[in-house]
Structure 1
Amino acid sequence: MTDLLPDARYLVLASRLLPDRDGGFTISVLRRALDMAAAGAEPLLLTIDPGETADHDADRAEWVRRGMLSAPEALRNLFDDARADPSWLRAAALAGPIPGSAWPYRQIRDAAGATVLELPVVSGDPAWHLTDAPVRVWGEDGPIGWLPGYAGLYRAWINAVAARSDDPVVLVCEARQVGEALVAPGEPALAPGIRILHTTHACHVLAPFHPDSPMDAAWERWFAVADGFDGVLWLTPTQQSDVERRLGGGIRSFVVPHPAPDAPALAPAPVHGRILVLNSLIPRKRVDHVIRALAIVRETRPEAHVHVYGDGVERERIVALADELGVAEAVVLRGHTSDPGEAWSEADVFVLASTNEGQPLVVLEALAAGVPVVSYDMPYGPRDTLARGGGALVADGDVDGLAAALVEVIGDRMVRDRLSIEGQAAAQDMDAASSMRALGDAARVALDDPVARPGR
């Protein structure tokens, strides 16, 4: 292993990793695993969604085809493992009478049709992953024991996977609900030798998205147990600072940003005036702000037009707004793409108008592609990512300011060229090695000085 990551067995745990689902979360998890492999760690990806093995196999094959997974066996799923060899599940099952439950149950069957376990179907409870409703474990002739809820099931599997390694184990947890379950009190406890580094992917506050704005119940619940992780990984120093000011220093945390990708294969061939939007069409992304800004921009830069890549519930509203503002002929909805290389090649400028983010991958992709960025100064990501140059920040929600910045980039080629060069240089500084170095620093602390938690 290189000097970027300390010697250990690395596991990367996500809720699910489905092609073309869950936006930047899925891509960021897979990219992190690829970067860890390039640093010599060869991580094993783990998921816990109870889909069918055939569907998971198809997903693995697709990720391999896209170059996002080294081999199918590099991604394992809890329920696939239970179907293939339930011995770990039966060994962890608690003996004695199985507690009753008011919830209905879903059977998980193996390839031969035999029931392996039964899952409680907990509906209407946002903390379903913390319920103690028993997971019923089956033997050949019926139920033989139980595990205390999903938390008990997850810990039993992680313990079994970790036990196959003689090296210390660093678990990079990518999902808050799963992380909560791993450190919650109860049996079976997570093996004491497992270190948990918990990543974050999103803004932790609600509207109006100020550092002291309210948090939803899920974040509050997660913060209540975050001192049980061996390290929390924030994407930006600004979010880490905001959390520490609000909650104090009781949570051990580090900044491990997403890295910028390599420059795209397609050579830049920007179409003058082409404004690129590359995100889901959901209210949080505020694509309607971009359309309103476009109408202002075209008053002085009639060549300006928007290409929108992405799908979602806002599509019809965007079409109607473009018609209403008289810019329909300058708005092209391209739909979802899994290969945005052409979009980056032809973009004159990229715009991001979200209400909030974690650290948007698309900003890093734009910098690597040499495409100037115009973004609202929202929490979190754009301010930290553009600190080295490559774009312009606009006051959050200021459509007129958004339009003015776009006019400047489109109308002044010297400005565009300067931002393009700055962005490419910044992307080279924010490379995978720098991200892995930060991850390695966190892993070393976790390995040398684990925090106290139940079962340890």
Structure 2
Amino acid sequence: MSEPALPDAEYLVLASRLIPDRDGGFTISVLRRALDMAAAGARVRLLTVDPGDQADHDRDRAEWVRRGLLGAPEDLRNLFDDARTDAGWLRAAALPLPVPAHDNDTRAIADAAERTVLDLPVITGDPAWHLSQAPVVVWDADGREPVGWLPGFGGLYRAWLNALAAASVGPVVVVCEARQVGEVLVADAAPLLDGGIRLLHTTHACHVLAPFTWDAPMDAAWTRWLDIADRFDGVLWLTPSQQADVERRVSGIRSSVVPHPAPSGLTNDPVRGRIVMLNTLIPRKRVADAVRALAAVRVSVPHAELHVYGDGPERAALAELAESLGIGDAVLLHGHAPDPEAAWATADLFVLTSTNEGQPLVLLEALGHGVPVVSYDIPYGPRDTLARGGGMLVPDGDVDALAGALTALLTGPGVREWLSDAGRSAAAAMDAAASMRALGAAARSALSSPSPRPGRVPSP
């Protein structure tokens, strides 16, 4: 009998929030990962830490089930919903009174009977709010008075994970999907995680700023996170290129490549000349470049159209640009697409013009549908993902080259069909099974190696 893709363990996939139609491809990728893990035979639960109302969380769970991205509502748990239901774990982890003095406002979290369960500090104007040690005040079972406190959000998150781990059978692997959450889990000043927990941390975005070279500057959040990344049992990069670039400037990180899986066997009946984009309308996506390229494409392919699925602050400016170029009727801004299959069903080509990505899901979806890709050669994702075929790369920011590639695919005899077949073959080689094998290897390594965290003493 062959070895299972994932080693036997309790898997907790931890995100900050999972809200329908929020956070773009990140949310979808997290939900799909959990489904793939369950399909591979793993015991897996999704966890979130956003302090929303339970009624809102229940609606979100129901919607994810309806969309087929969550097996059952109980597969998605929330820290504050758990505290509202039974806060025994919270009181057991609380440090004794008195609560340290602080100047922050607080937000009360109450249960269904309107009994206060805990008070959260409210920290405004600080991008590193999650690292604050402002106390989380824990109340008694009757909601009448405080009985203890936890040191900041890190102390709160750790108390929950430790309680979940204590109730699990066998080893526990936490797959953390959010940098802010991961950062507080290994912060010096927070109480230590249960020694049996292995903590894998995924990455979903480009870690450098413009000009996006390997040695380009990083923003403060990435710099701070990479400074403590050696405390994780494993860091999971989406592409070999990003892993290599990070390892050129940071040492000591246990890391693996675990790419997003590509779907396969999906149908597509293209409308000739229909070029599609699926992304938010923000400057980083550079949709204006695709609009300008379309104007050049239509000189040779007058029936070509650009169909953009997604919304955002640049929508009006893009419509004005299309009108100014005389192609207002050929640029269709469809707005938010709750069902992207409608876009893929008739797509002839897919174009990606972002300044940077992690590994865009839309690129993988294009290959799975047999829709050829034309993409800027950007970090990260396009070069690695298209290495097996299915698309063309053009120099980053070169609108003329973008237009030339689109024109060649729309006019070259048999070129589109050849790339479509290559894309489907590439997607089949990058399926969920391949992604789960990579994740399984990372989990085995973490479970078989000493944790980098034992012996570290929290700061007073």
Give the TM-score normalised by the residue count of structure 2.
0.97
Runs of at least 4 residues of structure 1 off by over 3 A?
none
2:200 to 190, 194, 197: 197
Question: Structure 2 counterpart of 1:329, which letter?
Answer: D
Corresponding position of 1:154: 157
C-alpha displacement at 1:454, in angstroms? 5.3
Question: Structure 2 counterpart of 1:304, which letter?
Answer: A
Considering only aligned residues, what root-mean-square deviation do their CA atoms show, in Å?
1.1
Question: Structure 2 counterpart of 1:213, which letter?
Answer: A
Corresponding position of 1:408: 408
Task: Give SS of 2:226's match.
Answer: helix
Alignment of 1:210-289 (within 5 A): 210-248=213-251, 250-264=252-266, 267-289=267-289
CA deviation profile, 1:353-388 (whole Å, cap 9, x unmatched): 000000000000000000000000000000000000
Corresponding position of 2:120: 119
Q: Which whole-Å CA distance do the structure 2 matches of 1:430 and 1:351 have between them?
A: 20
Alignment of 1:352-371 (within 5 A): 352-371=352-371
Q: Which runs of 5+ in 2 are unaligned?
A: none
Question: Structure 2 counterpart of 1:64, which letter?
Answer: V
Corresponding position of 1:68: 69
Corresponding position of 2:334: 334
Q: Which whole-Å CA distance do the structure 2 matches of 1:455 and 1:329 have between them?
A: 65
8 Å contact from structure 2 (residues 284, 356) kept in 1: yes
C-alpha displacement at 1:277, in angstroms? 0.7
Q: Which whole-Å CA distance do the structure 2 matches of 1:71 and 1:309 have between them?
A: 29
Corresponding position of 2:420: 420
Question: Structure 1 counterpart of 2:41, which letter?
Answer: G
Q: Which whole-Å CA distance do the structure 2 matches of 1:59 and 1:166 have between them?
A: 28
C-alpha displacement at 1:2, in angstroms? 6.0
C-alpha displacement at 1:299, in angstroms? 1.1
Q: Which moved more, 1:381-390 or 1:158-167?
A: 158-167
8 Å contact from structure 2 (residues 158, 185) kept in 1: yes
Task: Give SS of 2:320's match.
Answer: helix
Q: Which whole-Å CA distance do the structure 1 matches of 2:28 and 2:191 have between them?
A: 32
Question: Structure 2 counterpart of 1:11, which letter?
Answer: L
Alignment of 1:295-314 (within 5 A): 295-314=295-314
Question: Structure 1 counterpart of 2:263, which letter?
Answer: P
Q: Which whole-Å CA distance do the structure 2 matches of 1:209 and 1:227 have between them?
A: 23
Task: Give SS of 2:414's match.
Answer: helix
C-alpha displacement at 1:395, in angstroms? 0.4
Q: Which whole-Å CA distance do the structure 2 matches of 1:108 and 1:355 have between them?
A: 40
Q: Which whole-Å CA distance do the structure 1 matches of 2:38 and 2:264 have between them?
A: 16
Q: Which whole-Å CA distance do the structure 2 matches of 1:424 and 1:413 have between them?
A: 19
Alignment of 1:412-451 (within 5 A): 412-451=412-451
Between the aligned residues of both structures, percent identity stands at 68
8 Å contact from structure 1 (residues 171, 197) kept in 2: yes
Corresponding position of 1:323: 323
Give the TM-score normalised by the residue count of structure 1.
0.98
Give the aligned length: 453
Question: Structure 1 counterpart of 2:153, which letter?
Answer: Y
8 Å contact from structure 1 (residues 185, 454) kept in 2: no
C-alpha displacement at 1:42, in angstroms? 2.9
CA deviation profile, 1:420-452 (whole Å, cap 9, x unmatched): 000000000001011000000000010000332
8 Å contact from structure 1 (residues 189, 455) kept in 2: no
2:176 to 168, 173, 190: 173
8 Å contact from structure 2 (residues 105, 122) kept in 1: yes
Q: Which runs of 5+ in 1 are unaligned?
A: none
Q: Which whole-Å CA distance do the structure 2 matches of 1:455 and 1:68 have between them?
A: 39
8 Å contact from structure 2 (residues 9, 43) kept in 1: no
